[in-house]
Structure 1
Amino acid sequence: MTSALRRLFVGGAFAVALLALTACAGETADAEPSGAPSPAASSPVAEPSAAPTEEPAAAADPTCETIIPETTVADYDSVGWSAQASPFTITGEEVPGGIECVWANFDGPASDQLHIYGWAPIDEATADEARERLEAEGWTVEADPAGVYVTEPAETAVATDENGYGITYFFEAGTVKIADTKQSILLIEWG
């Protein structure tokens, strides 16, 4: 073999070896060293589904502790007051799905110191009938952009707010609230 042919052969063999090394290096350059464990796969990525697999949780029923702010409940608890719940009624007729709560110190001496809060779902026809019954009994009806206030007659009110309102119902779309004063309606958060 001539020296020129030998150089070509050695050069070609060198080039092939270099290509082989480069190819192998490229394959293992991204791989972890053989002694190191490969990282564990993280939790699989959830594929979005076309339909939800669970029904949303239904809202809990209103309670004396949930229709008013937690801070108000805590204030009542701190002075020894508790709540007694009863069905929500308007002129003696029950409004299904509602609750009426009287907050007072039921363990202390008898007193007129109490607060009333209530909430109920109501349809428009039932609300209209209830307002008519209250108005027939002398209650005052006041329209408001947010709904309709219906307040007991001043001469029968045991306690009133700073504007002279005693027990008041507030009718708004789909709900009715009651409180011992018109101002206290603002504390009812349910619905």
Structure 2
Amino acid sequence: MTSALRRLQIGGALAAALLVLTACAGGTPEAEPSRAPSPVASSPTAEPSATPTGETAPTADPTCESIIPESTVADYAGVGWTAQASPFTITGEEVAGGIECVWANFDGPASDQLHIYGWAPIDDATADEARERLQAEGWTIEDTPEGVYVTEPAETAVATDENGYGITYFFEAGTVKIADTKQSILLIEWG
């Protein structure tokens, strides 16, 4: 699947979710408990961190339930959300050993509300190639002391965080993460 097609599929789902949320905005306060949990990190100043020197990456395979906090998994379960896992891909190229998860209420009434989290191990050469492919498709690259953020073009982003970031990859030493917004990267604990 091409990155453009994947963005369109995810974008369509997010657009529909936004329409559903907009339509429900005028609802009564009783509707409040049925809302999906927010993937926003509890601390707006939190920064992603690399594995400290001397520590090794987890030895078990990553799962949708293990790459994000247990409390977030519990919140999702509490509103009937489950995860669907697929291989981690960047512009249609699979990154071996990774996982990409879409969290949503797949068994409930029709709704396109969802959140995306993913993690994969990646070597420097593969990371460089992936960033080049993304940049060629118009994605924005932002180098930081923590790592490199690569964000979808603003004009194609369906949903964004408070700073205008939509689907974002985060490359750091030996790993790459993806989330539906840059801020949601903070929730990915694996690695």
Tell me if TM exceeds 0.5. Answer: yes
The equivalent residue for 2:60 is 60
Give the 3-state SS of the residue equivalent to 2:169 in structure 1: strand
Give the 3-state SS of the residue equivalent to 1:146 in structure 2: coil
Which range moves more in the overlay, 108-117 or 156-165?
A: 108-117
The equivalent residue for 1:129 is 129
d(CA) in 2 for partners of 1:188 and 1:66? 9
- 2:167 maps to a residue whose letter is I
Deviation at 1:158, TM superposition (A): 1.5
Residues 34-183 of structure 1: matches in 2 within 5 Å? 59-183=59-183
d(CA) in 2 for partners of 1:109 and 1:132? 40
Task: Please identify the structure whose Cα radius of gyration is greater.
Answer: 1
How many residues align? The count is 134
Give the 3-state SS of the residue equivalent to 2:149 in structure 1: strand
Give the 3-state SS of the residue equivalent to 2:66 in structure 1: coil
d(CA) in 1 for partners of 2:75 and 2:151? 26
d(CA) in 2 for partners of 1:101 and 1:165? 19
Structure 1 residues 60-88: Cα deviation after superposition (integer angstroms, max 9, x where no partner): 10000000000000000000000000000
Uncovered stretches (5+) of structure 2, i.e. residues with no partner? 1-57
Deviation at 1:110, TM superposition (A): 3.2
Give the 3-state SS of the residue equivalent to 1:142 in structure 2: strand
Give the 3-state SS of the residue equivalent to 1:101 in structure 2: strand
The equivalent residue for 1:18 is none
Give the 3-state SS of the residue equivalent to 1:118 in structure 2: strand
Change (3 A) 1:110 1:155: farther
- 2:60 maps to a residue whose letter is A
Deviation at 1:112, TM superposition (A): 3.0
Which range moves more in the overlay, 149-158 or 175-184?
A: 149-158
Give the 3-state SS of the residue equivalent to 2:102 in structure 1: strand
Structure having greater relative contact order (Cα 8 Å, sep ≥ 6)? 2
Uncovered stretches (5+) of structure 1, i.e. residues with no partner? 1-57
d(CA) in 1 for partners of 2:184 and 2:73? 14
Percent sequence identity is 90
d(CA) in 1 for partners of 2:59 and 2:93? 25
Give the 3-state SS of the residue equivalent to 1:116 in structure 2: strand
Moved over 3 A (4+): none
TM, length-normalised to structure 2: 0.69
RMSD of aligned residue pairs (Cα, Å): 1.0
The equivalent residue for 1:185 is 185
